[in-house]
Every structure is written in structure tokens, then in C-alpha cells.
């Protein structure tokens, strides 16, 4: 087993995660290619998901990301890995939910109980929400809350039960995000939005192969953290698909290939997948990037290591060490940022 340094590992991971910007296709096709290659991008905020596409491609724009999701529908926004919001390739949505959905629902049982959402209520809510969306088209949270109240499934249209039932229906593969973002976001019935229901069939080995391709070298615990799979299942899957292994600081990491690594500088948006893809990043993130509370702010990375932070609103940058950012700032302007 080859011994390698942390610096090599971070640069290799940066290259694997497409941050060497291998995608040159313009338009929505380039967006779908980025999402497909990375196995999905964190999409807690639409802006963060959009900037993640920018960092991994050379010819897409902010408008292309919206077009890919809302018009071409080649990418889908919903709850996938870890039960968090992700932007995934449409063809991956069914396999991901087939593999991960049942465990994600089981892991949420305690919260469902705290909200008074019994199995019966959740099942009826999924039918009610899907039927409403099929009949009326895209709907926002307030409209769907009123639908649930009128159906007698919740007592009032406010509170966390509304979102919990929407998310649960999404984990069943029956609804996903539709047109609009942020305060204007809506949900749609998958059968209507994509023209057919999702086929909920997936396997851990296929997902492990895709994970190592986009995030390797990594450990089984890294894969479990990224995906939401139990560690034993993650370990078995990683072991079966890995074709290379490396030792870094006495830890064995698995990979699909031996990469030379990316030495570039990249400005990553909030909640970027590269910094969320591991149980152990092998680097400490300062509070200006990782303040806690589930937040992950925009970061500047070089050769895979965080060297600064920046703000979406005005592109103001705080560097921890010198770096040339002219090309990245120019590309953000080309993309349509700011």
C-alpha cells in the first residue's frame, strides 16, 4: 500500500470532485454533466448549488442551472444523500431513493412521533399531496399546508409538521422541487414533472463506485457520512469496488484511481459538496467557514486546502494566505454571480 501525504490527498480529492473544471459543455447539458459526475450536489440553498456547478465547469451560467432543473428537468432537487437537499441527475433519483429512502424515513421516526405524525397520517398525507399536485400543478408551502389542514391531517397550517410531511412524500419518490427558488420555491408531483414515476431500485456497490470516483481517496466512514448508509453496508460496498488503496497518516483510504491532483485555486459557494463529502476532511476549517450550527460558508481552496472565505453578496474576500483570484472573480462575473 502506497504511503502518501495529506497535501497529495487533498489535491487528489479536489481533482476527483471535478474542481479541476473538466466540464466544457455549455448550457443545461453542462449542468447535468457536473451533477452526474459528482453524484449530486448539496442544495440546501439554490445559490450554493448553482455556484457548485460554476466551480466545476467552464461554460455554464446561473441561468443554465435553473433551465436544467425547471425546463429540461435533467436534474432534480429533492432529499437524497443523508436526507438533505441535493441536486441530482434525474436518472439517479430513483436509485438513490430506492437505496437510501427507507433508512432515512426510519431515522426520522422519532421526529415524526414528536410532531404527532403517525404512519397512517404520513401515508394519507402522501396521497393527498400527490393528488393535489397532480390536479393543480406546482404549489408552495402555504398552499400545501392548507390542503393538509382541510384533509384533517394537521391542526394548523404553521409549524414543522408541514415541511416534515412534504419531505416524507419526497423520500417516497412522489414529489420533488419544482419551479422557483427561495421564498418562491414550489413542489410538484414527480409523475407529472418527470412524465413517469421513479423506479425505486438502487444498490450500495454502484453508489460506492460513484462516490470513490467523485470523492476518493476516502474511507468507508466517509462514504457512510456522505450517503447516510450504515457503516457496515458502506464498508462492504467500498471494499468490493475499490481498485487502489493508500495510507495517509496511518489511515487506509480507498480509491478507483491514482490521481495526480489539482493545484488550482477555486472559490466555492456555501455548502459545497467538496467540503461536505467526508467524515474526516483531514483539514481544520476556521469558524469563518464552518461556524457550526449546520452552516458551511463560501470558501476559497487551493490544491484542496481551504485558504480563505468570501461573501456571495459582494464577492468580498478574506484570505488566510496569499492567492491570485483574478481568474476566479472574472469567471464568477461570467457565470452571473453577485
**Residue 118 burial (C-beta neighbours within 10 Å; 0-12, 13-18, 19+):** exposed
In the structure grid, which three cell numbers stand for residue 45, read together?
A: 440553498
Query: What are the boundaries of each domain within the chain?
Result: 108-193
Give the model confidence (pLDDT) of 18-56 as tens digits.
999 999 999 999 999 999 999 999 999 999 999 999 999
pLDDT at position 132, please? Answer: 98
What global pTM score does this model have?
Answer: 0.95
pLDDT at position 173, please? Answer: 98
108-193: CATH topology: Arc Repressor Mutant, subunit A (1.10.10)
pLDDT at position 171, please? Answer: 98
Q: Nearest CA to 83 among 116, 107, 64, 49? A: 107
Rounded average pLDDT over 208-222: 98
Residue identified by cell 423520500 is 171
Rounded average pLDDT over 114-138: 98
pLDDT at position 136, please? Answer: 98
CA separation (Å) from 217 to 61, 154, 175, 204, 258?
A: 30, 46, 34, 18, 8
Rounded average pLDDT over 254-266: 97
pLDDT at position 1, please? Answer: 81
Q: CA 224 to CA 205: how far, in whole Å?
A: 12
Rounded average pLDDT over 45-69: 97
pLDDT above 70 coverage of the chain, percent = 100
- 39-75: string of b/e by CB count within 10 Å (b at 16+)? bbbbbbbbbbbbbbbbbbbeebbbebbbbbbbeebbb
pLDDT above 90 coverage of the chain, percent = 97
pLDDT at position 318, please? Answer: 97
Give the model confidence (pLDDT) of 278-327 as tens digits.
999 999 999 999 998 889 999 999 999 999 999 999 999 999 999 999 99
Note whether 88 and 94 are within 8 A (CB).
no
Rounded average pLDDT over 217-227: 98
Reading phi first (left if > 0) and then psi (alpha if -120 to 50, else beta), residue 322 is in beta
Taking 80 as the threshold, does the pLDDT of residue 338 lie above it? Answer: no
Instruction: Report residue 226's pLDDT band, with 50, 70 and 90 as the boundaries.
Output: very high
Give the model confidence (pLDDT) of 130-151 as tens digits.
999 999 999 999 999 999 999 9
Instruction: Report residue 104's pLDDT band, with 50, 70 and 90 as the boundaries.
Output: very high
Residue identified by cell 435553473 is 66
Note whether 203 and 263 are within 8 A (CB).
no
pLDDT at position 259, please? Answer: 96
Note whether 34 and 69 are within 8 A (CB).
no
Amino acid at each position: 500500500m502506497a504511503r502518501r501525504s495529506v497535501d497529495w490527498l487533498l489535491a487528489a480529492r479536489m481533482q476527483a470532485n471535478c474542481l479541476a473544471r473538466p466540464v466544457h459543455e455549455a448550457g443545461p447539458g453542462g449542468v447535468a454533466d457536473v451533477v452526474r459526475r459528482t453524484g449530486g450536489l448539496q442544495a440546501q440553498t439554490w445559490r450554493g448549488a448553482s455556484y457548485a456547478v460554476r466551480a466545476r465547469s467552464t461554460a455554464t451560467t446561473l441561468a443554465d442551472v435553473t433551465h436544467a432543473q425547471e425546463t429540461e428537468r435533467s436534474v432534480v432537487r429533492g432529499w437524497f444523500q443523508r436526507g438533505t437537499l441535493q441536486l441530482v441527475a434525474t436518472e439517479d433519483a430513483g436509485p438513490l431513493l430506492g437505496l437510501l429512502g427507507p433508512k432515512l424515513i426510519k431515522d426520522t421516526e422519532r421526529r415524526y412521533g414528536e410532531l404527532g405524525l403517525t404512519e397512517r397520517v404520513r401515508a394519507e398525507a402522501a396521497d393527498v399531496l400527490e393528488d393535489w399536485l397532480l390536479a393543480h400543478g406546482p404549489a408552495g408551502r402555504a398552499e400545501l399546508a392548507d390542503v393538509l389542514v382541510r384533509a384533517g391531517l394537521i391542526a394548523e397550517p404553521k409549524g414543522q409538521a408541514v415541511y416534515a410531511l412534504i419531505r416524507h412524500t419526497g423520500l417516497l419518490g412522489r414529489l420533488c422541487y419544482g419551479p422557483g427558488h427561495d421564498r418562491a420555491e414550489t413542489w410538484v408531483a414527480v409523475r407529472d414533472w418527470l412524465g413517469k414515476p421513479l423506479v425505486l431500485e438502487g444498490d450500495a456497490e454502484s453508489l460506492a463506485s460513484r462516490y470513490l470516483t467523485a470523492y476518493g481517496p476516502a474511507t468507508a466512514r466517509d462514504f457512510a457520512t456522505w450517503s447516510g448508509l450504515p457503516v457496515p453496508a458502506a464498508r462492504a460496498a467500498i471494499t468490493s469496488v475499490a481498485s487502489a488503496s493508500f495510507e495517509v497518516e496511518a489511515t487506509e483510504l480507498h480509491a478507483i484511481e491514482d490521481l495526480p491532483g489539482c493545484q488550482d485555486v477555486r472559490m466555492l459557494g456555501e455548502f459545497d459538496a467538496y467540503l461536505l463529502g467526508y467524515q474526516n476532511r483531514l483539514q481544520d476549517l476556521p469558524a469563518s467557514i464552518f461556524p457550526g450550527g449546520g452552516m458551511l460558508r463560501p470558501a476559497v481552496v487551493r490544491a484542496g486546502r481551504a485558504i480563505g472565505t468570501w461573501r456571495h453578496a459582494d464577492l468580498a474576500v478574506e484570505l488566510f494566505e496569499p492567492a491570485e483570484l483574478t481568474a476566479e472573480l472574472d469567471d464568477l462575473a461570467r457565470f452571473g454571480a453577485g
